[in-house]
Structure 1
Amino acid sequence: MIRLEQVTKGYDGKCVINRLNWQIGKGERWRITGASGAGKTTLLRLLMGVDLPDSGYVIGAEQLRFCPVFQEDRLTGHWSALQNVALVCEEGSRVRDILSALLSSDALNQPVFTLSGGMRRRAALARALAADGDILILDEPFTGLDEQTALRAWNTVLRYQEGRTLILVSHGISLPDEEMQTMAL
């Protein structure tokens, strides 16, 4: 599906990713690990084509549709969670099912600026899960969630992954998934 060949990327003279080779197959689940500043978000940006490598090649990504959750929620504050998800797909029972798995029913129609940080995070996650695409890119999707809520959100991700490739950056929570492979930076 996607191949990275000898990919190198740096900023301000500092090499962040150095000659990385990686192959990502259709439907696979990957967790990217590494210390803060190791290049995890940079790697996601390279995969999505937001940034270009300084050298090397990202092959196969140009034909794919990405469904990202960024470190920032990137929601429209005066719109409800339902309206924010409707930006990427038609509102319907599937959208309501995803949102209901992640948020209480009374939160679905509130402006997202009135929701807690964890609730906004789950609304952003619902938007990515509801979108029609090939690859889920989840950059710290469980930030601000307690362990129980994060595990419930993770189970929702697994339920709505629907054969798509999943690439996850997540700190601080142990997620049960024997099928998840690891890319360490």
Structure 2
Amino acid sequence: MAITQTAHGKVMQPPVWCNELETLSIPVDLPTTTGKRLIRVILPATLAGDVLDISFKVGLTNNAGYVIGAGAHIWYYPYLDPDGWAKRVQISDMLTGQNVDTNIVHHLPMAASFSWRVPADWDWGRMGLALVVDAHSTAWKPGDTLKVESGYAQLRVHRWTDPPAA
């Protein structure tokens, strides 16, 4: 039997989004664990059990001349902690990726949308969310990059939280 998660009884807050890229290129290498943070949003006070509707889009271009795998992940972290980014955790509910082949898919639009419940052990207050993209290939050469297209990227979050106490 499938279990459906809902935001039943919660109140939607105004959306938070960003379309300012932190980088326009992602270094290509062999490991799939060396992604670059492309874009991030900072949420207001976030509570354990809040439901986040998260969506992103990003455009990538492969000018390297060989197939490059691109993987996109969303990470969360405690924003107000000075070491917050070092404490980041990947949201395992969402992982998407595809090969960017110079001849077949020279320009790759990546987009995803999903809902995620803030873990029960979250007690850090403000949460940062970041879109991280990794570029990897067995044919990689030092200095090669996957281009991030400006003007197309966005990370958006709608947060559902408990209504204020009466």
Q: Same fold (TM over 0.5)?
A: no
Larger % of helix: which? 1
Larger % of strand: which? 2
Calculate the TM-score normalised by the size of structure 2. Answer: 0.27
Calculate the TM-score normalised by the size of structure 1. Answer: 0.25
